[in-house]
Structure 1
Amino acid sequence: MTPLRVGLIGVGKHGQRYARHIRDDLPEVQLAALARRDLAKARALAAEFGCRAYSDYRELIAAPDVEAVIAAVPPALHRDIVAAAAAANRPLLLEKPAAINLGVGRELLALARGTGVPIMVAQTLRYNAVVNAIRTALPAVGAIHSVRLSQRFEPSPLDWLDQPATSGGGMVLHTGVHMFDLLRVLTGLEAERVSCEMSAVVTRRTEDNFAAAIRMRGGSVLASVVGSRATNSRSGGIEVSGERGQLIGDHVLRLAYRIEGTSVTPLPVGPTAMTVCEVVRDFAAVLRQARPLPIPLAEGLRAVAIAEACYHASQAGQAVAVENLAG
């Protein structure tokens, strides 16, 4: 089968990760072009990855041989990129967070629905091997009543992440959305109400430390979600408690167990997944096979809705409702 020819918008550290996977690990995908504002840097990277260079992403999207687009850029740029992709009917893989805020997110959703252009959000944590081991084991613990998720990392070196006009927020929006999405996937429920506290430990303009308590809709499921980018260490905790036991894991440290009574049983964890690689592989496959997108834009925006509720709750000093994103 002829490889899917894609254009990559944004070739910073994370964007180059996409480019390397396409070149080295994905024969079913070909990098046709890349776009970076600095044309000299774009040309140097294009020479490295064997593709064309653009300084204007709109020219990349309009190129007749570009069949689909990947955008790995700050979320402040998503609105214009989605508008251009929708106008050109170019399928789009959009890095998380799907939008800088829910208001913009609704505009993106209207564009996608108005044109029918497929837009998938790169919620890469769904492809993690430990996450998949725990998802597979969910029936063993019966009805879920509580979930606890955490991610703790070192401070980010990216200056733009601490610029609210570009990033839209800090740890809650950029890492929290991974956990908010995972919470929905594990429980099969939408978030109803959120309380949240946040602080800045290393950052100056955005939060890098937060703790949220979440009630899910339609039942008694409660969750706590905690994140920090202020430690010289990494972890990604997952705890699911159900009527027949618990599932405990760490998606960074590759740990996964089932607890029943006082018995602890390791869960089988598959090979380490290159999650960026797998999300691109899935994106290409659904386009070639005309299957529904596994993570459509609305799914990514539901995680943004929880993040936005966290900001409102922190500012208000009380629990707030999560906006219901229909469709």
Structure 2
Amino acid sequence: MSKIKVAVIGCGAIAQRRHVPEYTNNEQVELVAFADPKIERAQEMAEKHGGKAYASYEEILANEKIDAVSICTPNYLHAPMTIAFANAGVHVLVEKPMAVAEEEGQQMIEAARKNGVYLMVGHNQRLMPPHVKAKEILDSGKLGRVITFRTAFGHPGPDAWSVDGRDSWFFEKDEAILGAMGDLGVHKSDFIRYLLNDEVAEVASFIGTLDKEGTEVDDNAACLLRMKSGAIGTLVASWTQYRGGDNSTVLWCENGVMKIGTVEGDEVIVELTNGTVETYKVGAMATNEKQVPSGVIDAFVESIQSQTPPSISGEEGLRSLKVILAAFESQATGQIVKL
């Protein structure tokens, strides 16, 4: 079978650390083009991995015949680029948040559908080994229904890991639109929906810029969620966890508690009300310091090859985005927002 020809748009941290290495390790893929407005970044990628370097995505559309694309750009560009590639008959993997407005997300989904291509959103939390195991345990029914929960994602912020550090687009309001909530919060709204197999019904939130000076984007959020099932819980996103960052979820259920990512080495812990304790060593979560394969690229490639729509679809990405947008609405209005 001929290799899938892939282009990567945006050659910053997420492309360098996840997308490009994972495409390189996939034998079904040929990387043919890279684009970045700082063309030397694209050139560096092309020299290392083959293919050509371009300064813009329009040049790739004009000059290359590709099957698929990874869009690893600032948030405000996700929608226009996705739509342009979908209209050219190219399968799209877009980084999260898929868009910065609900209408954009709808247009992206529609463009993919109209052109018969796949749209996948890079919500890698679903594919991390501890989360896969947690889902399997919860689905087995041994814990009974989820009553309450908390889920959180925090680290020191993009200044610590973005290729541009403190000058990163992540801090530019007109390019990022959404701050810690678009970066981390949307991962958790996606994960909790997926894990509980449930939708968020209502959101209340406090969102603000507490410590990152000189930016208008949010660096912290604390949200209260009520699920359709009635379960209630919290979702926290933070760019100011300068020590002891967090990527954990705890579910309190009828028959016990499940702790995910709370103890290093025991990634999933199940404590049942009957006194039994189960621990699962299933491999760590990916972090910015220690990258482990995200599974996203392989899933995207497998979708294209097997002609099976991706499970982390545009529709799924949009549902997760809508939770975050509702949280911003709650912050702006001081009201509980119904989804």
The two structures have a TM-score, normalised by structure 1, of: 0.92
- 1:230 matched residue in structure 2: 240
Structure 1 residue identity aligned to 2:281:
V
Equivalent pair of 2:270/2:277 in contact (CA under 8 Å): yes
- 1:280 matched residue in structure 2: 297
Equivalent pair of 2:71/2:82 in contact (CA under 8 Å): no
Gaps of 5+ in 2: 163-167
Q: Please say if 1:269 is aligned against 2:314.
A: no
Q: Distance in 2 between matches of 1:181 and 1:251?
A: 19
Stretch deviating more after TM superposition (227-236 or 281-290): 227-236
Equivalent pair of 1:257/1:264 in contact (CA under 8 Å): no
How far apart are residue 105 of structure 1 and its match?
A: 1.5
1:29-63 per-residue CA deviation (whole Å, 9 max, x = no partner) reads 22111111133332233112222111121232354
- 1:199 matched residue in structure 2: 208
Q: Distance in 1 between matches of 2:47 and 2:258?
A: 47
Question: Residues 41 and 181 of structure 1: is their aligned pair in 2 closer, same or farther, counting only changes over 3 Å?
Answer: closer
Structure 2 residue identity aligned to 1:155:
G
5 Å-filtered alignment, 1:114-153, equals 114-138=114-138, 139-153=141-155
Identity across the alignment (%): 24
2:233 alignment partner, SS class: strand
1:277-326 per-residue CA deviation (whole Å, 9 max, x = no partner) reads 4110010011101112111101011111000000010111121112xxxx
Structure 2 residue identity aligned to 1:61:
L
Q: Distance in 2 between matches of 1:48 and 1:129?
A: 30
Q: Distance in 1 between matches of 2:192 and 2:258?
A: 14
1:267 alignment partner, SS class: strand
2:309 alignment partner, SS class: coil
1:120 alignment partner, SS class: strand
- 2:230 matched residue in structure 1: 220
5 Å-filtered alignment, 1:233-252, equals 233=243, 234-250=245-261
Question: Residues 252 and 83 of structure 1: is their aligned pair in 2 closer, same or farther, counting only changes over 3 Å?
Answer: farther
How far apart are residue 263 of structure 1 and its match?
A: 3.1
Question: Residues 223 and 63 of structure 1: is their aligned pair in 2 closer, same or farther, counting only changes over 3 Å?
Answer: farther
How far apart are residue 2 of structure 1 and its match?
A: 3.4
Equivalent pair of 1:124/1:279 in contact (CA under 8 Å): yes
Q: Distance in 1 between matches of 2:262 and 2:72?
A: 23
Q: Distance in 2 between matches of 1:7 and 1:242?
A: 44
Q: How many residues align?
A: 320
The two structures have a TM-score, normalised by structure 2, of: 0.88
Question: Residues 63 and 295 of structure 1: is their aligned pair in 2 closer, same or farther, counting only changes over 3 Å?
Answer: farther
Equivalent pair of 2:124/2:294 in contact (CA under 8 Å): no
How far apart are residue 19 of structure 1 and its match?
A: 1.3
Which of 287, 299, 307 is the matching residue for 2:324? 307
Q: Distance in 1 between matches of 2:53 and 2:107?
A: 29
- Tell me which stretches of 4 or more aligned residues in structure 1 moved more than 3 Å: 61-65, 251-254, 271-277
Equivalent pair of 1:26/1:277 in contact (CA under 8 Å): no
- 1:325 matched residue in structure 2: none
Stretch deviating more after TM superposition (254-263 or 31-40): 254-263
Stretch deviating more after TM superposition (199-208 or 73-82): 199-208
Structure 2 residue identity aligned to 1:289:
S
- 2:333 matched residue in structure 1: 316
1:132 alignment partner, SS class: helix
Question: Residues 251 and 298 of structure 1: is their aligned pair in 2 closer, same or farther, counting only changes over 3 Å?
Answer: farther
- 1:21 matched residue in structure 2: 22
Equivalent pair of 1:181/1:300 in contact (CA under 8 Å): yes
Q: RMSD of the TM alignment (CA)?
A: 1.9
2:66 alignment partner, SS class: coil
